[in-house]
Amino acid sequence: MEVEQLDTPVAIVDLDLLEENIMRLQSHLDQCGIKNRPHIKTHKIPEIAHMQIKAGAVGITCQKLGEAEVMAQAGISDIFIPYNIIGRSKLERLVNLSRRAKISVTADSDVTVQGLSQAMALSETELPVMVEFDSGLNRCGVQSSQEAAGLAQLIHQLPGLHFAGLMTYPSSDKTAPFVRETQKLLQPHGLQVEQVSGGGSKAAWQVQYFPEVTEHRAGTYVYGDRSGIKQGYATLTQCALKVIATVVSRPTATRGILDTGSKVLSSDTMGLEGYGLIVEYPDAVIYGLSEEHGHVDFSAHQRAPAVGERVTIIPNHVCVVSNLFNEIVGVRNSRVEVVWPVAARGMVR
Amino acid sequence: MEVEQLDTPVAIVDLDLLEENIMRLQSHLDQCGIKNRPHIKTHKIPEIAHMQIKAGAVGITCQKLGEAEVMAQAGISDIFIPYNIIGRSKLERLVNLSRRAKISVTADSDVTVQGLSQAMALSETELPVMVEFDSGLNRCGVQSSQEAAGLAQLIHQLPGLHFAGLMTYPSSDKTAPFVRETQKLLQPHGLQVEQVSGGGSKAAWQVQYFPEVTEHRAGTYVYGDRSGIKQGYATLTQCALKVIATVVSRPTATRGILDTGSKVLSSDTMGLEGYGLIVEYPDAVIYGLSEEHGHVDFSAHQRAPAVGERVTIIPNHVCVVSNLFNEIVGVRNSRVEVVWPVAARGMVR
């Protein structure tokens, strides 16, 4: 089947570009001597995770336990979950999962660490736990090296756990000083920071400036998106995932309505103007989204597309877009090669 | 099972409130003599659609053909799709669906009308087609009564179609004059505006001011949300759908991180501050969302919740939130009564 025969809205992934994106980052990290542990949040598709591992990744990263379960069931054997796993239900699932795959996690509080230890206490293996620290995003993570060192010691002391190092998102100027300071504090206690996990698709190309980082988590690089173009780590021609839309209404000379609304493109702006880039009409602005309608101003173009015409959209933020589709169509040379269920989509727990 | 035993994040619907919301609007529209045709975009759950019909709705509204297919398969027999159905694939599905249920649609262009007619030409029945007009939202819809009348005549003349009236979203001050003017233009041609379909959950409570409207489409009223509270058509205690979240991190004295990010709450602000209302901490602000983290400022409260504490969130825009969950948990008196798959979620085509 040809791409032009696919009904819209549809999310297609150019397989040549996908493979190139996977190889390009892998080669770069290989050259820098940094282990690659891509974040599957962007694609949520087991076959793509296997492609990343085949290319040289040491394992994958999942943000939710439910995503990790899907990936483990698909044969992925080394999964890092950089999230505070809290509560009886999730801890039980974590213990079960850690019997079937090599699982590691993060923690940024005593509460999380105590829960992990209690859950793992009866297990034969130790769960590797990294301490998450805040390197400027102001999200999760301990705020000081003193806190990090304290938590590392707690992990080391409690049964069932192994202190595996430090983790942050994204890698930044604050990463190296934080790691060095924490190492210094841990040395007298005979504890080492074995691994430092950094993250971010932009930071992936700057790993040489973060020598303390031993492995890297990047997600969006695999597809690329409009935000990635703006941030400078992807080019328009490298963007592998595109949404094909149909113009369903042309109420005025300059207004066009697409069959892609917020339930396809999401409302994420990522600080950009409009809700996506229309490849064929790059100066048009998707200025508004209803749930099932994209509102476009075509006034910057001499000719606006007619009702029924198809357009190609590079989304602002591809991770949330692939989470809105039940399946992604893999294409090569404009022919459909595979239809992938987005197997780990909606795994909110 | 008790609600407190459910793992988070989870979307729960209070069944008493749901039933009350359904009955309240139905009674109001009954009193006003307006037919009720609720929009299932908000819940996407067949059993709730059946509850709405049992309460007195004449049928339902779906925004996408794929949603209508799911609902028809669940036994809903009267479905309005107020959308321009365009392209061979969808037209074929539309013809098939119209053999199994009473389907009606809208159009706002010659292209759409011609396509519908060609598809329906060989069918034994006529497809009811309403002309969509723009009553101020600046989305789809013809811009003038002259256009509306011209399109109505085209629908009337072409085989396989029946001109069924006018449709707009939302009902507004412009609705009545537009309808009257179009009726005037159609009279000499012997054509009548049989039905006028208005829409909107806020406008549903103002139908008495739109006497030309014969039936009404409301969606969000069924659950209610923070935007509905702001718009004045729902109260906090009427909101039936809530998201339960867990505090997974407390990096600072005032910052808390929830396990609900944009993949649960969506980035829709609806013009509100923050990404949802935390019932237990009404002055806290969910000031940012990552994909799997909600960033909360608890500084307005003397006490911020501890790691592991659960909080209840009223989302800004409930329609996009229910589209992000694979299932919704129906509860009564804090006990789980039913788990509904969101059967029509992700039906983007």
Residue B106 falls inside a structural domain: yes
Same domain, yes or no, for A34 and A176? yes
pLDDT for the residue A181: 98
Residue B104 falls inside a structural domain: yes
- Number of domains into which chain B is organized: 2
**B-chain residue closest to A42, CA distance:** B291
Q: What is the Cα–Cα distance from A223 to A264, expressed in whole angstroms? A: 16
Structure tokens at B344: 């029509």
Which of B263, B340, B252 is closest to B298 using CA atoms? B252
Angle subtended at Cα A91 by Cα A88 and Cα A96, rounded to the nearest 5 degrees = 125
| Last residue within a domain, chosen from B202, B222, B242 | B222
**B-chain residue closest to A323, CA distance:** B263
Residue B346 falls inside a structural domain: no
pLDDT for the residue B8: 98
**pLDDT of A217 over the 90 cut:** yes
pLDDT for the residue A134: 97
Same domain, yes or no, for A182 and A260? no
Residues of B in contact with A257 (CB under 8 A): 139-140
Largest Cα–Cα distance of chain B, in whole Å?
Answer: 73
Please tell me which of the candidates B83, B115, B349 has its beta carbon nearest to residue A9. B349
Q: Which single residue is written with the structure tokens 């040379």?
A: A333
Query: Could you tell me if A345 and A336 are in contact, meaning their C-beta atoms sit under 8 angstroms apart?
Result: no
Q: For A92-102, how does the pLDDT look when each residue is reduced to its tens digit (9 = 90+)? A: 999 999 999 99
pLDDT for the residue A124: 87
CA dihedral A39, A44, A46, A51 (to 10 degrees): -50
| Last residue within a domain, chosen from B222, B249, B281 | B222
Name the DSSP class of A271.
T
Query: Could you tell me if A55 and A22 are in contact, meaning their C-beta atoms sit under 8 angstroms apart?
Result: yes
Same domain, yes or no, for B42 and B190? yes
Structure tokens at A260: 């892609």
**pLDDT of A161 over the 90 cut:** yes
pLDDT for the residue B122: 82
- Distances in Å between the Cα of A291 and the Cα atoms of A247, A258, A286, B44, B264 are 15, 11, 13, 13, 16
Please tell me which of the candidates A8, A87, A268 has its beta carbon nearest to residue B267. A268
**pLDDT of A122 over the 90 cut:** no
Residue-number span of the structural domain to which B22 is assigned: 16-222
Q: What is the Cα–Cα distance from B146 to B105, expressed in whole angstroms? A: 20
**pLDDT of B55 over the 90 cut:** yes
Q: For B293-334, how does the pLDDT look when each residue is reduced to its tens digit (9 = 90+)? A: 999 999 999 999 999 999 999 999 999 999 999 999 999 999
Residues in chain B: 349
Averaged pLDDT score across all residues of chain B: 97
Which of B92, B18, B32, B40 is closest to B342 using CA atoms? B40
Same domain, yes or no, for B194 and B244? no
Residue A349 falls inside a structural domain: no
pLDDT for the residue B124: 87
Do B250 and A109 make contact, defined as CB atoms within 8 angstroms? yes
Residue B320 falls inside a structural domain: yes
Q: What is the Cα–Cα distance from B185 to A250, expressed in whole angstroms? A: 23
**B-chain residue closest to A264, CA distance:** B348
Residues 6+ apart with CB under 8 A from B303: none
Instruction: Assign B260 to helix, strand or coil.
Output: coil
Q: What is the Cα–Cα distance from B121 to B95, expressed in whole angstroms? A: 10
**A-chain residue closest to B317, CA distance:** A291
Same domain, yes or no, for B213 and B119? yes
Query: Could you tell me if A316 and A306 are in contact, meaning their C-beta atoms sit under 8 angstroms apart?
Result: no
With bands split at pLDDT 50, 70 and 90, how would you rate the model's confidence at B57?
Answer: very high
- Dihedral sign (CA B62, B64, B69, B74): negative
Q: Which single residue is written with the structure tokens 């780990």?
A: A344
Q: For B245-301, how does the pLDDT look when each residue is reduced to its tens digit (9 = 90+)? A: 999 999 999 999 999 999 999 999 999 999 999 999 999 999 999 999 999 999 999
Q: For A236-276, how does the pLDDT look when each residue is reduced to its tens digit (9 = 90+)? A: 999 999 999 999 999 999 999 999 999 999 999 999 999 99
**What are the b/e assignments for A53-72, b being 16+ CB within 10 Å?**
bebebebbbbbbbbbbbbbb
With bands split at pLDDT 50, 70 and 90, how would you rate the model's confidence at B349?
Answer: very high
| Last residue within a domain, chosen from B222, B242, B273 | B222
Residue A347 falls inside a structural domain: no
Q: What is the Cα–Cα distance from A268 to A245, expressed in whole angstroms? A: 18
With bands split at pLDDT 50, 70 and 90, how would you rate the model's confidence at B129?
Answer: very high
Question: What 3 state SS string does B111-148 have?
Answer: HHHHHHHHHHCCCCCCEEEEEEECCCCCCCCECCHHHH
Backbone angles phi, psi at A120, to 5 degrees: -90, -10
CATH number of the domain to which A308 belongs: 2.40.37.20
Same domain, yes or no, for A189 and A296? no
**pLDDT of A299 over the 90 cut:** yes
Same domain, yes or no, for A77 and A204? yes
Neighbours of B194 (CB within 10 A): 13
DSSP output for B60-93: EE-SSHHHHHHHHHTT--EEEE-S---SHHHHHH
How remote is the C-alpha of A322 from its chain's centroid?
A: 11
Do A246 and B87 make contact, defined as CB atoms within 8 angstroms? yes
Q: What is the Cα–Cα distance from A171 to A247, expressed in whole angstroms? A: 41
Chain A interface, mutation test: which of B147, B168, B263, most A Cβ atoms within 10 Å? Answer: B263
Same domain, yes or no, for A280 and A131? no
CA dihedral B189, B195, B201, B202 (to 10 degrees): 60
Residues forming beta bridges with residue B3, ordered by sequence position: none
**pLDDT of B130 over the 90 cut:** yes
Instruction: Using a pLDDT cut of 90, give the percent of chain B over it.
Output: 97
Instruction: Assign B158 to helix, strand or coil.
Output: coil
Do A307 and B349 make contact, defined as CB atoms within 8 angstroms? no
Pairing status of strand B10-14 against strand B78-81: unpaired
Neighbours of B12 (CB within 10 A): 19
**pLDDT of A336 over the 90 cut:** yes
Same domain, yes or no, for A133 and A265? no
Q: For B180-231, how does the pLDDT look when each residue is reduced to its tens digit (9 = 90+)? A: 999 999 999 999 999 999 999 999 999 998 999 999 999 999 999 999 999 9
CATH number of the domain to which B113 belongs: 3.20.20.10
Same domain, yes or no, for B80 and B176? yes
- Read off the pLDDT of each residue in A139-160 and give the average, rounded to a whole number: 98
Backbone angles phi, psi at A187, to 5 degrees: -50, -50
Residue B77 falls inside a structural domain: yes
Name the DSSP class of A186.
H
pLDDT for the residue B192: 96
Same domain, yes or no, for A69 and A145? yes
Instruction: Using a pLDDT cut of 70, give the percent of chain A over it.
Output: 100
ipTM for the complex shown:
0.97
Same domain, yes or no, for B87 and B214? yes
Do A7 and B89 make contact, defined as CB atoms within 8 angstroms? yes
Q: What is the Cα–Cα distance from A244 to A8, expressed in whole angstroms? A: 6
Which of A238, A226, A233 is closest to A265 using CA atoms? A226
Residues 6+ apart with CB under 8 A from B139: A249, A251, A257, A290, A293, A295, B169
Q: How far apart are the first and last CA of chain B?
A: 36
Would you call the peptide bond into B188 cis, given omega within 30 degrees of 0 as the criterion? Answer: no
Residue A346 falls inside a structural domain: no
- Which strands sit side by side in the sheet containing B161-167, from one edge to the other? B35-36, B215-217, B195-199, B161-167, B127-132, B102-107, B78-81, B60-61
Residues of B in contact with A10 (CB under 8 A): 349
* Cβ neighbourhood burial of A279 (10 Å; 0-12, 13-18, 19+): middle
With bands split at pLDDT 50, 70 and 90, how would you rate the model's confidence at A282?
Answer: very high
Structure tokens at A294: 């994209």
